[in-house]
Amino acid sequence: MFENIFYYLSLLFKTKYKIKPPKSSEVLIYDHGAEQLNFLNFDKCSIFYNRGEELNLFILFKSIFLNGFSNITHNYRITYIKYINPKFIITYRCDNKNFYELKKFIKNTKNILIQWGKTIEGHFKYFQSLNNDYDVDEMYLQGEETAKVYSKYIKGKCFAIGSLSNNRIVFDDNNSIKKNSLVFISQHKPKRPFPEIERIIIKFLKRYCLKKNLTLSISTRVLASDKKNKKHYEAILGQSDWNYFPREDLGALGDTAHYRKVLSSEYIVSIDSTLGYEALSRKKKVVFFPLGSYSKEWCKKNYVTNLKTKTYWIPEKFGYPLNLNQEGEFWTSEHDEKKMEEKLNYLISIDENSWDKLLKDIGLEKIIKFNPYNEVLIKNLKKIGVPLKKDY
């Protein structure tokens, strides 16, 4: 209870307040992620800030006048959207159940979901007890198996298109590959304790790369300006024999630069990151180490995300929502350095044709597709009349 009170009090100071009513728009972007939807004609778009980043006082008072103070968050949301009167509501956040309820309260709109991030089993915990009582018009999802899972809980037409941000970035990988290079995709976030799971993996990778004469790089979610978080990696790896790939920008432009750095490596190591799966969709050689994904007890000790509350993270099992084994040719969920080394040795030794066949055999496109330039999405949005930029 007190945590909720502190949360709402903090919003009072962080929120930007708007006095003028919002403009009517053909498209309402629901929640953040607008920079990833750069194919839209933003002159015809508005954004509904779902996380308290912005509060429109005109809509708030209108909502209170119409509905009183009960259920104020929900009523504010519905009043805002009705005032905008959009033809299309698009979200890039697949983990917000309120979006799937909008069609119960707002008619005559086309509601479109575009999947953000990898498919996580926990995203569906809100849906399982509600007997498929959610509804959208179209869902653009990463893979065919993900579409099956969403369809269990959410009514709507599904399209498997891969990752929006990954599809947008198209360049000739083969001409820029740095031979004998390996990059680890770190998932550590600022303001969280550095996870022991990553300490284990990168210490192992440095020893492995020195042994195999590979150049080690660390890709991070940390900005280049954040010197404090760089020290976490330096404390583990030292000052030499590795490269540091921080983010220059957290928006779409930063994505492009960062993808290029990661994809230029010959080999990639991931725990369970979206970027790891996106690289795999391009048939890059990727090893996955979702250590502890079958052991809650291991993660309690090695993947703590909040020391005060003792919150911990459990990596997603490799290939979810496919039901693959705990261990395969290029993944293992067990902290066993002998097995981890075997997976990397396999990755280095396998030829391209055999790699392509292996990915086909495990059903890669059921997990995540690669659709260059988002051709399927753009074609379908044009067909239903979503206003796009002229160059699309």
Same fold flag, 10-162+373-384 and 173-364: yes
CATH for the stretch 10-162+373-384: 3.40.50
pTM: 0.92
Contacts made by residues 381-385, CB under 8 angstroms, sequence distance 24+: 381/39, 381/112, 384/88, 384/110, 384/138, 385/87
Lowest mean pLDDT among 27-36, 125-134, 329-338: 125-134
Mean pLDDT of 13-26: 89
pLDDT at 2: 37
Q: Mark residue 265 as left, alpha or beta (left: phi above 0; alpha: psi -120 to 50; beta: remaining).
A: beta
At 282-309, the pLDDT tens digits run 999 999 999 999 999 999 999 999 999 9
pLDDT at 194: 95
CATH assignment of 173-364, among 3.40.50.2000, 3.90.230.10, 3.40.30.10, 3.40.50.1970: 3.40.50.2000
| Pick from 221, 275, 269: nearest CA to 247 | 221
- The residue extents of the domains of the chain are 10-162+373-384, 173-364
pLDDT at 11: 57
Instruction: Determine how β-strand 327-328 pairs with β-strand 311-312.
Output: unpaired
Please, what is the average pLDDT of the chain? 91
pLDDT at 94: 82
The C-alpha atoms of residue 95 and residue 262 are separated, in whole angstroms, by: 26
